[in-house]
Amino acid sequence: AQKVTQAQTEISVVEKEDVTLDCVYETRDTTYYLFWYKQPPSGELVFLIRRNSFDEQNEISGRYSWNFQKSTSSFNFTITASQVVDSAVYFCALSEEEGKLIFGQGTELSVKP
Amino acid sequence: KAGVTQTPRYLIKTRGQQVTLSCSPISGHRSVSWYQQTPGQGLQFLFEYFSETQRNKGNFPGRFSGRQFSNSRSEMNVSTLELGDSALYLCASSLTVPNSPLHFGNGTRLTVT
């Protein structure tokens, strides 16, 4: 069965600290896609990154970076020098079929000034 | 480019009633998916439509149904509402390229009393 686990329910950091959000997934398929989404208080889920199962290269986008390790079935997300605007709920998700994402329970990040 | 538009934003209904939610995808997106978000169950996949055909369905009772029109706009309907149907209903659209990122709307907040 497909499953996504985000063990951290809530994280609180002070501005400018680095923070890593963990994501562990389970799937029997060899071809799959992983995603991260951000949900600010407005409710809209904002797409951050997509990674396919054949691409284990880590990615950096500004203050955001992602570490994909197939050997441990993990797809962790790091925010460097966090800012108050980063406060939101972050979701990791797994996709095996069109339009169907399996979401983790989400990690609520609170960045305090 | 306009994002995914969901109407209405808020809805209050009584148990036993039915409700219809509407979603207009991003122009050019032909796939539309629906998700239910609750504090207890998190984000759960309802169904996905492409070219007016339902391609995928989640584990929800038959009271939950949807459809897609020729202009890719979609509606979902919930009949015989139950208290447990209170949730944020999110619509997402995507391009037809396999496993394209989903772009979500702001959601419809349904409260059943």
DSSP H stretches of helix in B25-92: none
- Judging contacts by C-beta atoms under 8 Å, the chain B residues touching residue A105 are 42
Are the Cβ atoms of B31 and A99 closer than 8 angstroms? yes
Whole-number pLDDT of residue B36:
98
Q: Any idea which residue has 């995808």 for tokens?
A: B25
B11 touches chain A (CB under 8 A): no
Q: Which of B3, B48, B107 sits opposite A99 (nearest CB)?
A: B48
The residue-averaged pLDDT of A10-30 equals 96
Whole-number pLDDT of residue B68:
97
The residue-averaged pLDDT of B62-87 equals 97
Are the Cβ atoms of A98 and B92 closer than 8 angstroms? no
> Residue A105: phi, psi to the nearest 5?
-75, -10
Q: Where are the beta strands (DSSP E) in chain B?
A: 5-7, 10-13, 19-24, 31-38, 42-50, 53-57, 64-68, 74-78, 87-94, 103-104, 108-112
Whole-number pLDDT of residue B32:
95
Per-residue b or e along A28-38, where b marks 16 or more CB atoms closer than 10 Å to that residue's CB: eeeebbbbbbb
Note whether B30 and B100 are within 8 A (CB): no
Average pLDDT, chain A: 93
Which of the 8 DSSP states describes residue B45?
E
Contacting B residues, span 38-67, partner chain A, CB-CB under 8 Å = 42-45, 48, 50, 55-56, 58
Closest CA to A97 of B29, B104, B14, B58: B58
Structure tokens at A111: 């960045």
Whole-number pLDDT of residue B1:
67
Give A1's pLDDT tier (boundaries 50, 70, 90): confident
The residue-averaged pLDDT of B22-30 equals 95
Give A104's pLDDT tier (boundaries 50, 70, 90): very high
The residue-averaged pLDDT of A19-26 equals 98
The residue-averaged pLDDT of A74-99 equals 92
The residue-averaged pLDDT of A21-35 equals 94
Are the Cβ atoms of A103 and B88 closer than 8 angstroms? no
Give A75's pLDDT tier (boundaries 50, 70, 90): very high
Residue range B41-70, pLDDT digits in tens: 999 999 999 999 999 899 999 999 999 999
Q: Per DSSP, what are the bridge partners of residue B89?
A: B36, B108
Q: Which residue has the higher pLDDT, A54 or B21?
A: B21
Residue range B5-25, pLDDT digits in tens: 999 999 999 999 999 999 999
Closest CA to A47 of B52, B4, B73: B4
